[in-house]
Amino acid sequence: GVTRRYTFNVGMTSVTRLCGTKSIPTVNGQFPGPRLDAREGDRVVVTVHNRMSRNVSFHWHGIRQLRNGWADGPAYITQCPVQPGQSYVYDFTVTGQRGTLWWHAHLSWLRVHLYGPLLILPELGVPYPFAAPYKEVPILFGEWFKADTESVISQALQTGAGPNVSDAYTFNGLPGPTYNCSSSKDTYTLKVRPGRTYMLRLINSALNDELFFGIANHTLTVVEADANYIKPFTVTTLVISPGQTMNVLLTTSASPSSQSQSFAMAIAPYTNTQGTFDNTTAAAVLQYDAPTPPSSTQNLPLPALPRYNDTSAVASFTSNFRSLASAQYPARVPQAVDRRVLFTVGLGTDPCPSNQTCQGPNGTKFAASINNNSFVRPRSALLEAHYQRRYAGVLMANFPTTPPHPFNYTGAPPNNTFVAHGTRVVPVKFNTSVELVMQGTAIQGAESHPLHMHGFNFFVVGQGFGNYDPINDPAKYNLVDPVERNTVSVPTAGWVAVRFLADNPGVWLMHCHFDVHLSWGLSMAWMVDDGPLPNQKMLPPPSDLPKC
């Protein structure tokens, strides 16, 4: 591999959307941020200069960072943030991965503006396991808030209420024609030629919403998920959770009729919690190369997307994913399990301080937890504490690996939803094969949780609705060709089972990729020991590692 060098100058830039201008954090003045390109096996070196007046850190979402948590990026987990005026070099090698990933800020809600594609081509001379597309196009879904997003979340945390929702969904940063005040310059347009195959590299970088996506009059063939090839399948609508990436092939019609040379692409939220989201369908334009381009793209018919709460459409889409599991791309699913862990994931509450009125459920404050533990961000980085074996004052006791209260959907809702708080981790011995079952509790109404794991991919061996049944459900696991991912949605009122091999020493965050749930504490970390061999130990920290 070669070395690819990038510089991120992080500063404030004025950007206008929905008829309003605000100053937002950007990388090199670009929104969305710059695209990083690499091949499998390359070394990527990104020098970050923080020229803002607030802290920042960057995460290379989905990159495994073997033995190299120093480059992973979540603030206070693997590093202290990069402070104003400081610099930090993220230096990592892409090993055994190829496909679409992305990068984003990993502190508070800064990723709403600081994100971009991280595209990994196969090694030189290695083809895709499908016909080479004519063109490849990254499409990032996002959210735009008219308000300052840091105030949105800090106000929500203060009052205990759910945060205000965004004002628009975006395609590559553009809200498109379904919003008031959007001009054609605010619409993302993908120009295509007839009769060609395009590969759309889809990235859901929205803060708080899973999204349906479709293109009027076209089908999509999904060929890759979270930088892992899958057995191709074709759909008219897909669903993608925040944090997830998906490569889809779009074959354009050989001769679009002369009247309809443009088609709407659309995204709309999937959520079961009515009234707490912006239900606007956002649109972009797929425009065929034509002698006379259409005069207006304002009123293109939108593709039919499922209803906002169509959980069965989501379940049937999700059930299509299968690893390629070929000789060239085997699915290395752990067949035996050394350690079983059961997590309940969901929302909960904190009591309201006596000198305050709180706007959360029944006058409490919203919180979120895993096994009733709401994660507390430490004051210094966990990875450094682990490397130096100095845990006092940084970590609390171990994270609970079984739920403190047995969970049962058929019982009455619990009358105590209060969570416990702590900076807790699960210590894991090197090379342990772990089976993790995540049970959604949906205490505050039905809601799914896209759980993202740093440092690993996992295999999704099973999922279902209702209570996980430890006797009968494991018998139905797919241990042959389950999909390998870094982010999986724990279905609303359901569960998901994943397996991974803990072969990467370090401290690795796992959290809900809805930023609001992360802010409420739906997070934990795995602390994986060094192995016995020299090449199974954490690398030493770089000399410019930021201090807290």
Instruction: For residue 245, give the nearest of 452, 65, 64 by alpha carbon.
Output: 452
Residue span binding ligand C2O (CB under 6 A) among the ranges 265-273, 283-291, 324-332, 506-514: 506-514
Please measure the distance between the N-terminal and C-terminal CA atoms of the chain and give it in whole angstroms. 34
CA distances from 195 to 134, 144, 253, 286, 533 (A): 10, 34, 5, 14, 54
* Residue 147, both tokens: 């308000």
Interaction with ligand C2O in 381-410: which residues (CB under 6 A)? none
Shortest distance, CB of residue 208 to ligand C2O, whole angstroms? 13
Q: From CA 349, how far away is CA 444, in angstroms rounded?
A: 9
Instruction: For residue 114, give the nearest of 166, 169, 68, 57 by alpha carbon.
Output: 57
User: Burial level of 403, CB count in 10 A (0-12/13-18/19+)?
Assistant: middle
Q: Can you tell me which of 509, 522, 525, 528 binds ligand C2O, judged by CB under 6 A?
A: 509
Contact by Cβ (8 Å): 285, 190: yes
Please identify which residue in the block is written with the tokens 């304002």: 298
Residue 311 or 486: which CB sits closer to ligand C2O? 486
Instruction: For residue 203, give the nearest of 453, 32, 319, 13 by alpha carbon.
Output: 32
Phi, psi at 542, each rounded to 5°: -70, 155
Binding mask 250-269 for ligand C2O (x = CB under 6 A): --------------------
Q: From CA 101, how far away is CA 302, in angstroms rounded?
A: 28
Shortest distance, CB of residue 513 to ligand C2O, whole angstroms? 6
Residue 17 or 511: which CB sits closer to ligand C2O? 511
Interaction with ligand C2O in 60-99: which residues (CB under 6 A)? 61, 74
Q: From CA 155, how far away is CA 164, in angstroms rounded?
A: 9
Residue 57 or 297: which CB sits closer to ligand C2O? 57
Number of residues binding to ligand C2O, judged by CB under 6 A: 11
Shortest distance, CB of residue 286 to ligand C2O, whole angstroms? 28
Shortest distance, CB of residue 53 to ligand C2O, whole angstroms? 24
Shortest distance, CB of residue 510 to ligand C2O, whole angstroms? 8
Shortest distance, CB of residue 183 to ligand C2O, whole angstroms? 31
106 binds ligand C2O (CB under 6 A): yes
Q: For residue 482, say if its preceding peptide bond is cis, omega within 30 degrees of 0.
A: no
17 binds ligand C2O (CB under 6 A): no
Shortest distance, CB of residue 486 to ligand C2O, whole angstroms? 8
Residue 133 or 243: which CB sits closer to ligand C2O? 243
Shortest distance, CB of residue 366 to ligand C2O, whole angstroms? 20
Interaction with ligand C2O in 433-462: which residues (CB under 6 A)? 452, 454
Contact by Cβ (8 Å): 165, 218: no
Q: Which amino acid is at 434?
A: V
Shortest distance, CB of residue 104 to ligand C2O, whole angstroms? 6
Residue span binding ligand C2O (CB under 6 A) among the ranges 287-295, 337-345, 458-466, 507-515: 507-515
Residue span binding ligand C2O (CB under 6 A) among the ranges 16-24, 166-174, 420-428, 505-513: 505-513
Residue 449 or 511: which CB sits closer to ligand C2O? 511
* Residue 466, both tokens: 């209702």
Number of Cβ within 10 Å of residue 481's Cβ equals 18
Phi, psi at 80, each rounded to 5°: -75, 155
511 binds ligand C2O (CB under 6 A): yes
Q: What is the binding site for ligand C2O (CB under 6 A)?
A: 59, 61, 74, 104, 106, 243, 452, 454, 509, 511, 513
